[in-house]
Amino acid sequence: MSGESGGGLLVAGTTSDAGKSVVTAGICRWLVRRGVKVAPFKAQNMSLNSFVTREGAEIGRAQAMQAQACRIEPTALMNPVLLKPGSDHSSQVVLMGRPVGEMSARGYHGGRREKLLGTVLECLAELRGTYDAVICEGAGSPAEINLRRTDIVNMGIARNARLPVLIVGDIDRGGVFASFFGTLALLSREDQALVSGFLVNKFRGDVSLLTPGLDMLEDLTGRPSYGVLPFRHGLGIDEEDGMAVSLRGAVRESETAPPAGEDVLRVAVCAIPLMSNFTDVDALAAEPGVLVRFVDRPEELADADLVVVPGTRGTVRALAWLRERGLADAILRRAAEGRPVLGICGGFQLLGEHIEDEVESRAGHVDGLGLLPVRVRFAREKTLTRPVGEALGERVEGYEIHHGLADVLGGEPFLDGCRVGAVWGTHWHGSLESDGFRRAFLREVAAAAGRRFVPAADTSFAALREERLDRLGDLIEEHADTDALWRLIESGAPRGLPFIAPGAPA
């Protein structure tokens, strides 16, 4: 490796959800398998799916997943700025793993963002001084010309850190050639000098039919394509900015075995506003015979064996939404009938007796659904922990991210929350990833629902994640020009890349 610091690459995209997160993870897994010491990095992330590191820092789940692809522990250095939307106009700003306040989009882009560039570059420099390579993920598109002046996550960081840039395009959406060319042509001369080539994602069909277009794109831009990644079902990698499924659709396009017992279990997840860490139900969807879907109507709870009320960045808002939709009444009827309900984090809070919130919604006293003997008070300090405990006779690991403090006044203890009949509530995200506990919990659900469902004895969620990360690594190894990709990471952008008019507006 040349120079005092390790090599690097910025994976940008023509759009949001072009595949930057999974391509970054795939490159990381390919590199670590060839013996490279590698780390992920995303300067600024906007996501309601977050994770708690061992040192108690909150970062985006996508970066935690990418760290797993690198076979290293995630740290705050890998995602120094995390924005957690609380409305259409404002977000909580999490800096180096700790919340530092709420800010409007105008306030953030109007000055605060630029001031964070120094912190971002310091984090990246520290990672590059420690690892052989750092694979950075951009956000949205680098050609968002309205935001270029304050950009710290796309070309702003590429320019300052002299990172070569690979642009990923989702061909499944159509228009990928125009997107590649237009993205490049809207960048300034200095930014274009770092854009080294393109990577096509989610291709279906005969790649030979695409080759003439790739050749023409190279003739037009002077930049090669580094590969064509085929469309793959069932990767199930942690999402960042939103659900990769339509509402009332299956939570994952999973490739799972038939049920071990005679019945399947149907799980309905309430698609509440500002839903956070909906990845909690991925472990359920991974179980053979468990069907998970998101719902937003009360009649969709009728055939569900388990209803999950997930986490949210707006507990009081979610509670009002459940009542307006008629879902609250449906949940109350389920509980009265002894039919299973699980509340996680914000979902747990709204199942309680009442909420005192002068922090998140500033609504003051709000009555909850009253299904659990719990009273919640919102504190300004955020709880960020990695608890370990036991439930249903099994060891459980999880993580907590919440402002609400729960005073549990009764019921059976359950993961620092409680259980009353068939209603469970806990602040612990990730608990269902503990295999033994998940199986024990599903047996309880099946018994309460009267289903002859039997959990598979050998499902390992951790092993399934590893398998999916390996499949991403395989995609890069088998369908990308890995020799050229390594040269790019090691040596930087080629010199003399041509400028494509018109460039960024003055």
Give the active site residues.
Answer: 345, 429
Q: Which residues contact 133 (CB under 8 A, 6 or more apart)?
A: 1, 6, 7, 8, 9, 31, 36, 37, 38, 39, 489, 490
Q: Which residues contact 80 (CB under 8 A, 6 or more apart)?
A: 43, 44, 95, 96, 116, 119, 120, 123
CB of 254 within 8 A of CB of 236? yes
- String of b and e for 424-454 (b: at least 16 CB within 10 Å)? bbbbbbbbbbbbebbbbbbebbbebbebebb
Q: 89 is written with which tokens?
A: 């106009």
CB of 273 within 8 A of CB of 314? yes
The residues pairing with 391 across neighbouring beta strands, listed in sequence order, are 394
Using CB atoms within 10 Å of the CB of residue 367, give its burial: 0 to 12 exposed, 13 to 18 middle, 19+ buried.
exposed
Helix ranges (DSSP H) in 196-288: 211-221, 282-285
The residues pairing with 364 across neighbouring beta strands, listed in sequence order, are 357
Helix (H) or strand (E) holding 60: strand 58-60
CA 335 to chain centre: 31
Nearest to 226 by CA among 200, 195, 193, 194: 200
Q: 169 is written with which tokens?
A: 């395009």
Using CB atoms within 10 Å of the CB of residue 28, give its burial: 0 to 12 exposed, 13 to 18 middle, 19+ buried.
buried
Q: What does DSSP assign to residue 252?
A: -
Q: Which residues contact 369 (CB under 8 A, 6 or more apart)?
A: 319, 322, 328, 331, 332, 350, 351, 352
Nearest to 98 by CA among 381, 346, 404, 430: 381
- How many helices (H) and strands (E) in the chain? 16, 27
Q: What is the DSSP string of 120-180?
A: HHHHHHHHHHHSSEEEEE--S-TT-TTSGGG-SSSHHHHHHHT--EEEEEEGGGS-HHHHH
> What is the 3-class SS of 93-117, one letter each residue?
EEECCEEEEEEEHHHHHHHHHHHCH
CA 330 to chain centre: 30
